Amino acid sequence: MMAMRSTSMFAPELKMPGTHSTTRTQRRFLDLHEYQSKEIMAKYNVRVQKGYMAESAEQATAVSQKLVDEGASEIVIKAQIHAGGRGKGHFDNGFKGGVHLSTDPKKIGEVAGKMLGASLITKQTPPEGQKTLKVLVHEAIDFERELYLAFLMDRSFDGPVMVASLQGGMDIEEVAERDPTAILKVGIDITTGIQPEQTRDMAIALGFEGDAIADAQEQMTNMYKMFIDLDCTQIEINPFVVATNGSVYCVDAKLGFDDNASFRQKDVFALRDTSMEDPREVAASKADLNYVGLDGSIGCMVNGAGLAMGTMDIISLHGGSPANFLDVGGSASEHQVEEAFRILTNDPKVQAILVNIFGGIMKCDVIAQGIVNAAKNINLTVPLVVRLEGTNVELGNEILANSGVAIITADNLDQAAVKAVAAISA
């Protein structure tokens, strides 16, 4: 896979990586906390501030004192959640700001006590926010300019791309929308890797001078090595700065990793913090199911993403609202079907369940038996509408009819949606 554009020319256009939405979506990439990202970066000689993670006010005070004893003049404390905009956020206990500075270790401990255990709400979290269970305490550094630097995979370049901007320390998506020429990017030939002339050109374009040019180049090279070695989908440094001591620092970091690489990046994926995720999605992933939570009242169980989208559209067409997207895949077992029902019924918003299965590799009789077992084992109390089609459909319908379970059957999707909406209205 090779970059298809010149590696020595900057291109202003950019499709920026997505940010966390205020509505829950299916996990596609592994997210790490900032403290975890910085620990990994330090192993690759990417320069970050010296700091420590703390899980209590007492720990935060202790590590703050340690940093002061080691020469830090000011301390930064940051709430650790999987969302941006922490500094401008607020906690559900009324405390303002997920990022604070102080020269007093005791003050840092007091701030930690107000953060830990409370939910931080930002523009990038769900409305209820995310609970803060850890804080990062690190040294503060003085700098004059805030830059932006990232490595990511870009389809338009058929491979890795280095992205940068002189306008760092702010929402880079807003920068790209307001002034596309403010974004610089250069494609990297993945077969040869990043080249010295590329890092030098980028360093100069970002305004580095003198010895800082070579230092910035070294940081870029080390970041790219980490990007490739760890199968990253994104390394985002915002801001990327030159401190008053002349050294280049990566002040804030966001790393992304593709789930497809989990089999060879076991140490990285072991860092996954499921407390930051929708528990329904966590349960689904453990059962090898795909789940996306929505805001409606009709739980959907289907096999195949296209069928899921069609099912949700038909439900909406008939005046209902889907509560989720749950795809059991093409070869689900009876056990997986039962787990799918458990996930659906654990959502208090679900008032009815619609199962829409097209049996191909996965036979309708297997699904039917799984549905019956699940309905009995979990003591299903909401209306259940089932539409089966495909391999062994007659046998599947026979299993449903003889199950003794109150199952509403349908001959086609349109009919199933009408019956599901009616079941809620009854």
* Selection from 300, 301, 298, 299 nearest residue 320 by Cα: 298
CA pair distance 209, 316, nearest whole angstrom = 59
Backbone angles phi, psi at 128, to 5 degrees: -80, -5
CA pair distance 32, 82, nearest whole angstrom = 7
* Selection from 346, 390, 347 nearest residue 368 by Cα: 390
User: What DSSP string describes 159-227?
Assistant: EEEEEEES--SS-HHHHHHH-GGGEEEEE--TTT---HHHHHHHHHHTT--THHHHHHHHHHHHHHHHH
Reported as type and span, the H/E element at residue 232 is strand 232-242
Q: Check 34, 35, 139, 236 and give the catalytic one.
A: 236
| Residues 261, 264, 267, 273, CA torsion sign | positive
Based on the residue annotation, tell me whether 148 is a catalytic residue of this protein. Answer: yes
Side-chain half-sphere of 109: how many Cα atoms within 13 Å? 12
CA pair distance 12, 76, nearest whole angstrom = 34
Q: Check 34, 35, 148, 339 and give the catalytic one.
A: 148
Backbone angles phi, psi at 214, to 5 degrees: -65, -35
DSSP 322: B
Q: Are strands 408-410 and 384-390 parallel, antiparallel or unpaired?
A: parallel
100 and 88 Cβ atoms separated by less than 8 Å: no
Based on the residue annotation, tell me whether 218 is a catalytic residue of this protein. Answer: no
CA pair distance 173, 236, nearest whole angstrom = 12
Where in the sequence numbering do the catalytic residues fall? 148, 236
